[in-house]
Every structure is written in C-alpha cells, then in structure tokens.
Amino acid sequence: MHRDRFYTLSASCPDQVGIIACVTGFIAEHKGWILESSFHSDEMTEQRAARYFIRIEVKADSLPFMLTEFRERFRPIAESLQMDWRINDSAVKKRVVLMVSKQEHCLYDLLARWQSKELDIEIPCVISNHDTFKGFVEWHGIPFHHVPVTAETKVQAFAEVQRLFEESHGDTMVLARYMQILSPELCAAHPGKILNIHHSFLPSFVGAKPYHQAYQRGVKLIGATCHYVTADLDQGPIIEQDVIRIDHSDSPNDMVRYGKDIEKTVLARGLRYHLEDRVLTHGNKTVVFR
C-alpha cells in the first residue's frame, strides 16, 4: 500500500501482441509514474479463449489530469482492446457493509483493522439476523440494523438487506460468518461484490457443519475459503484459502475454535485483495495480483 494518492487501473481483455506497450505507452505519454504493475496471460484451454489481465497503480499527481479525464482519454484505447476495465482513486474510500450473526471473531477482527485504519474503508452499517452485537457495533459509531430472517420472511428480509445496502451506497458486502443463505435475487443483483468466508477448505465439506464433516473423515488439516457469493452455494470464485494442522486429539469443538483463527485471517486477506482491486474474475476462477 503506497502512501501517495494513486489510481488503480484493473482490466482484462482478449490476449494479443502489444497490450502492455499500448496501456503503459498511454500512461508514459502523460508522464504517469507507475508505482506497481502486474500482468497475467491466462492460457487458452478447451473451455476458454486466452485472456489478458492487467493491474496498474499510477501516482495521481504525476498525471496532468484528474480521474474523469483519464477515463475519457483512455476509453478509446480500452475499446480498441475490447477491455473490461475500471479505475479507482485511492483517496475515495470503499464502502463496506458487514453482515454478521452470532459469532464474534470476524466482526471484532474487521473492526480492529478498520479503527486502526489498517483497512482504510467506510463501514456505513452492519446488518445482522440477531441483535447480539448491536451495542458493540454502535459503540464504534456504526449504525446497526437488525433484520431477522425466518423461513417465512426470507424474501422480505433479503429485499430489506438489499435496500439497506443500496441506500448506504455499499461497494462491497461481506458475510462475516453470516449464517443465512442469501436469496438468489440478492446474489444476482450484485455479482462480484459479495464476499463470504466458508469454514472449510473448499471444495471439501460444502454446506453445513464442515468441521463435523472433517472430524468424521479424519483429515489432518482444516481450512477456510474466502469466495465471491453466487447463487450456487459455496461454488463461487475462490479468492483466498488457508489451512491449519489438527490431530486425533481435536474434537469438532476444538476444530471450530482453531478454525476461527483461519477464518478471520483468510477473510481479511481476501477482503483486502478485493478492496485494492487485486482480484479479477475469469469465469469461475480468480486472478489475484498480490
């Protein structure tokens, strides 16, 4: 993370000769100072054509114009390369809505990172299907919305969640051990903007009680997976994963406890990559420029 204000261009396009030269040529022409740059060529497979991925950080005050003009001037280049692209300003904080239930570890962890500005974001609100953390969240000066979810009220509840997210101009929604399955409508409304932390090393142990499944199978490591939420449960593009060693003496309850340490760090890492525009999706996979 650089101290100076910078713009982050992230893009993907069909692979061809000269992409880097074209993009960095444009930046150099305007005396743009590149702080960091990453490129990746995803080789053609039977399923996919070859595609090129780009992430560039340019020092803001090295350019003779602001972001609006950058966008305008860069557009013809992007179009000629058939790019999917976006450019963000490090001075504009991302707005992250947290979704929680009754478990504390990811919530405490994210709020600690937020209050120390390690995560330099706005948290417009926290939404929960329980009121367990109302006082804790509000003490931090963050609005808390209690939106109960029952089998009968599910549709309305998630309509309300979606309304709150949009009303607070959220850029990103984080399921920080939120124990409800989002409605397909909500998933579809914000693709690539909703992150979940799943408490297993996917694709092992999809669904409920993964630590109990892990205990039954007798695995020697347990893990956690941060992924984008799609309508298919636990099947979205994986952003980050990690594992921790266990042994025969660990009960499912011990695994739950160990797992929390992995869950919160994997979620925090995945969220950081996402917020810094380091994650580009390609079908059901991700390119993560760490």
Q: Hey, which residues between 241 and 260 contact a copy of itself (CB under 8 A)?
A: 241-243, 247-249, 251, 253-254, 257, 260
Cβ-based nearer residue to a copy of itself, 106 or 186: 106
Residues 69-98, one symbol each (x = binds a copy of itself by CB under 8 A, - = not), give ------------------------------
Contact between 101 and a copy of itself per CB under 8 A: no
In the complex, minimum distance from the CB of residue 23 to a copy of itself, in angstroms, rounded to a whole number: 9
Burial class of 188 by CB neighbour count within 10 A (0 to 12, 13 to 18, 19+): exposed
Among 43, 61, 64, 68, binds a copy of itself (CB under 8 A): 43
Interacting positions 157-186 with a copy of itself (CB under 8 A): none
CB of 121 closer than 8 Å to CB of 142? no
Among 9, 98, 100, 111, binds a copy of itself (CB under 8 A): 111
In the complex, minimum distance from the CB of residue 115 to a copy of itself, in angstroms, rounded to a whole number: 6
In the complex, minimum distance from the CB of residue 3 to a copy of itself, in angstroms, rounded to a whole number: 8
In the complex, minimum distance from the CB of residue 260 to a copy of itself, in angstroms, rounded to a whole number: 7
DSSP string of 95-139, one letter each residue: BEEEEE-S--HHHHHHHHHHHTTSS--B---EEESS-TTHHHHHH
Task: Encode 87-103 in three state secondary structure.
Answer: EEECCCCCEEEEEECCC
Contact between 104 and a copy of itself per CB under 8 A: yes
CB of 234 closer than 8 Å to CB of 205? no
Give bridge partners of residue 37 from the DSSP assignment.
56
Cβ-based nearer residue to a copy of itself, 165 or 205: 205
Contact between 37 and a copy of itself per CB under 8 A: yes
Contact between 24 and a copy of itself per CB under 8 A: yes
Cβ-based nearer residue to a copy of itself, 109 or 171: 109
Residues 289 and 204: their CA atoms lie apart, in Å, by 25
Among 195, 238, 255, 275, binds a copy of itself (CB under 8 A): 238
Q: How far is CA 251 from CA 46, 106, 255, 258, in A?
A: 44, 22, 6, 11
Contact between 28 and a copy of itself per CB under 8 A: yes
In the complex, minimum distance from the CB of residue 14 to a copy of itself, in angstroms, rounded to a whole number: 13
Positions annotated as catalytic residues are 234
Q: Which stretch binds a copy of itself (CB under 8 A): 5-13, 133-141, 160-168, 172-180?
A: 133-141
Q: Dihedral sign, CA of 147, 101, 104, 281? A: negative
